[in-house]
Chain A
Amino acid sequence: DTEVTQTPKHLVMGMTNKKSLKCEQHMGHRAMYWYKQKAKKPPELMFVYSYEKLSINESVPSRFSPECPNSSLLNLHLHALQPEDSALYLCASSPMDSYGYTFGSGTRLTVV
């Protein structure tokens, strides 16, 4: 298995909703990432997990809450989002001490 799987592919949520994005990989990668990509912009890093521990938080607002329950799963919990948070959310993984990043197909999030 050489893929990063993200679910759901599309999500529409209201500003008062709570939802979660899920990411899964079975490549044995011990580093996992969340990126955010707005339309016609490059992906921007949000969080990095190394060995299931948060190692980088790029000053992301607390309405985004990451969680890494085990070495194969990465979640992004969403609460009280704003319409400007609408974007493509990308998950990626890589082996430790390696540049071999693999990206998922992303979740297209729309906040209404």
Chain B
Amino acid sequence: AQKVTQAQTEISVVEKEDVTLDCVYETRDTTYYLFWYKQPPSGELVFLIRRNSFDEQNEISGRYSWNFQKSTSSFNFTITASQVVDSAVYFCALSEDTPLVFGKGTRLSVIA
């Protein structure tokens, strides 16, 4: 069965600090996709990244970077030099070409 665990419920950081959001997943399939979405206070989930199980290369996009490690079933998300606009709830999700299964989310508060 698919499962996504985001152990950190809430994180607070001071602006310009780096922060890492953890995501651990469970799947029995060899082919699967991992996602990160951002949910700002407005409520709309914003797609950030999709990674398939055959591509373990880490990815960097501006201040955002993702570390995918199949050995530990983790897909962690790091924000470098955090900004107040990064404050939101962040969700990790998994699909085995099945409906997305989301974690419970991590609420990030960046304080000026």
Report whether chain A binds chain B. Answer: no
Binding site for B on A (CB under 8 A): none
Binding site for A on B (CB under 8 A): none
